[in-house]
Chains A and B, each alone.
Chain A
């Protein structure tokens, strides 16, 4: 199920401004890849280009290639909607649909694509909520509003919603930065389970988190304000944190900078 992502020579522009320059990296299937780096270095931007979510912003465009198991997701015959069905996303702030119940939130991705029968949906709801470690907490109140859950539960609801459509890849844009340490731990544990089945890319400002959860780490940096962000280096997490090849990486992870 999980797929490999190969990014080569990726440039991202917002209008005339170049946000990211020359990113080349490979995301291995069934593993967690962490993007770290100072604010504004383009790591979230790169993440969004992996499922073409940046296209929601007017004026955003990319150059270069993003291959999903060899297939260019920016090919001329590719429908971005289908790309996003294959590559799911979880955002920084939990964003359950406020008009929907917990149940409806989980199956929103399916129901808004085509008609499903109730028994099919029941199975998906339980499977997705179990997958997000939320089932035991909410199984008796599936008809309650999703926005009534706590922040950590809402984020796990959003993860359940994202995996309900059975994507190949899960992109997480700082999924824990709005959560308390206990909810963060719950999400991190969940990520370890999810990586058995999905390719996971996570953007995080928390370096301990990157060191704890990820298999590979990519460090992004920018030369100066107003300059495009660049990928400094990418490698196994233990290597990046213990024995980085670049001076900038060492400075950043040891806290001497940024």
Chain B
């Protein structure tokens, strides 16, 4: 007599029952419909309430059914997977809502007039006007800020990764960069306002705004570039050194090209971060309703400022302009990011 004769599955390899593939969606649907009924006949109300309740009810019901049919381990597995997916949807919800809302509301005034006209001599309640002056201002301010912070940030991160080598000074710089990354943006604006404006007696200008944006951008560029440079395999540096290539040349021709795609992404993240900054720009650029193409003299407008001022006005025409300004901002970031990706795609590491 053997043990297997008594117990056909001594190692417990056989599985219990299994729910079909469509079980999860079906349970979700059933819960949704049932809960809709509950919400219709009871005083429970509100879309957000409904969604949150649905998420909880679905998790509980699916766990119960799966426990009964498939056993505890599978039920816990389903619970964890469903919780992750539910979390994903909850996290995506505001993102999609913001994007959709801005597109729907922004399309109302997103036309040629809007892109080619300023707000000069346009009253709040007038239907025309546009953000031309704001687009120019934003492009110039962010452009100049990038001219400062990208080369500077690259040099700092090259020092930290290739030359600093864990020296005390490099660690100090690294800590400062970390602190600067978390700097509230209005402090950058206040700093430029007090130093550039009050100490050096310079007026509001696009350039002052660029300085404030540089203060915000620089640490972001340094941090992301540093990470990308550290990702370049040391074997590539060794290969270049073994060929008798000098260190600066190795950094320039081997390390930087290898990390270029990542660096570009980092720079675009930094640009996206500052392009929507309102507080520091408000304190340094001030804002205007006229076109000012010279970033070095007099107040300019910028898109976040435009949105900020138009959205605060008590007329629907102005609020519509604010939404279109917000849409313009999103499209601008999208265009810049796409362009940068296309430009660097050719030089990215290939053939893997």
Interface of A toward B, CB cutoff 8 Å: 51, 53, 56, 58, 81-82, 84-86, 88-89, 91, 93, 95-99, 108-109, 112-113, 144-149, 158, 161-162, 165
Any chain A CB within 8 A of the CB of B350? yes
Measured between beta carbons, the chain A residues less than 8 angstroms from B243 are 84-85, 88, 108-109, 112, 161-162, 165
CB distance from A170 to the nearest CB of B (A): 10
What are the residues of chain A within 8 A of B235 when measuring CB–CB? Answer: 91, 93, 95
A148 close to B165 (CB less than 8 A): no
In the bound complex, how far is the Cα of B239 from the Cα of A96, in angstroms? 8
Complex Cα–Cα for A127 and B172 (A)? 49
Contact among B239, B244, B260, B350 with A91 in the assembled complex (CB-CB below 8 Å): B239
Q: How far is the CA of A93 from the CA of B246 in the complex (A)?
A: 22
* 9 closest A-B pairs by CB: A85-B244, A148-B351, A145-B351, A109-B243, A98-B349, A89-B242, A147-B351, A145-B350, A95-B235
Residue of A84, A113, A148 near B242 (CB, 8 A) is A84
Query: For the complex, is B236 an interface residue (Cβ under 8 Å from A)?
Result: yes
Bound Cα distance from A61 to B244, whole angstroms: 19
Q: Which residues of chain A have C-beta atoms less than 8 A from B348's C-beta?
A: 99
Q: Which residues of A contact B234 (CB under 8 A)?
A: 56
* The one of A89, A98, A145 that contacts B258, using a Cβ cutoff of 8 Å: A98
User: Provided the pairs A91-B235, A93-B235, A112-B250 are in contact, do residues A99 and B242 lie with their beta carbons within 8 angstroms?
Assistant: no
> How far apart are the CA atoms of A108 and B245 in the complex, in Å?
9
Chain B residues 235-274 with CB under 8 Å of chain A are: 235-246, 249-250, 253-254, 257-258, 260
A97 contacts B350, C-beta separation under 8 Å: no
CA distance A134 to B303 in the complex (A): 57
Write the chain A residue with the least CB distance to B349: A98
Q: Which B residues are in CB contact (< 8 Å) with A85?
A: 243-244
Flag if B351 contacts A53 (CB, 8 Å).
no
The docked-state distance in angstroms from the alpha carbon of A108 to that of B257 is 13
Residue B16 lies at the interface, judged by CB distance under 8 Å to chain A: no
Which residue of chain B has the shortest Cβ distance to A109 in the bound complex?
B243
The interface residues of chain A lying within 8 Å CB-to-CB of B244 are 81-82, 84-86, 109, 113, 165
Instruction: Output the nearest chain A residue to B233 by Cβ-Cβ distance.
Output: A95
Q: Is B352 an interface position by the 8 A CB rule?
A: yes
A147 to B352, Cβ gap below 8 A? yes
Contacts of B350 in A (CB 8 A): 98-99, 145, 147-148
Smallest CB-CB separation from A161: which chain B residue? B243
Does B347 sit at the interface, judged by CB under 8 A?
A: yes
* B254 cross-chain contacts in A, Cβ below 8 A: 97, 99, 108, 112
Nearest CB of B to A57, in Å: 10
Chain A residues near B242 (CB, 8 Å)? 51, 53, 84, 88-89, 91, 162
Closest B residue, CB atoms, query A58: B165
Q: 10 other contacts beyond A82-B244, A85-B243, A89-B242, with CB at 8 A cut-off?
A: A51-B242, A58-B165, A84-B243, A88-B243, A96-B239, A97-B258, A99-B260, A99-B348, A113-B245, A147-B350
Instruction: Specify which of B166, B237, B239, B241 lies most central, judged by the most chain A CB atoms within 10 Å of its CB.
Output: B239
A145 CA / B347 CA spacing, docked (Å): 11
For A158, what are the chain B residues with a Cβ–Cβ distance below 8 Å?
A: 239
Determine the chain B residues whose CB is within 8 A of the CB of A84 once the complex forms: 241-244
Q: How far is the CA of A86 from the CA of B249 in the complex (A)?
A: 18
Of residues 311 through 352 on chain B, the ones whose CB sits less than 8 Å from some CB of chain A are 347-352
Contact B238 A91 (CB under 8 A): yes
Q: Which residues of B sit under 8 angstroms from A98, Cβ to Cβ?
A: 236, 258, 349-352
Instruction: Tell me the nearest residue of chain B to A145, going by C-beta.
Output: B351
- With A98-B352, A145-B351, A147-B349 already in contact, the answer to whether A108 and B240 are too (CB < 8 A) is yes
Give the distance to chain B from A183, nearest Cβ to Cβ, in Å: 18
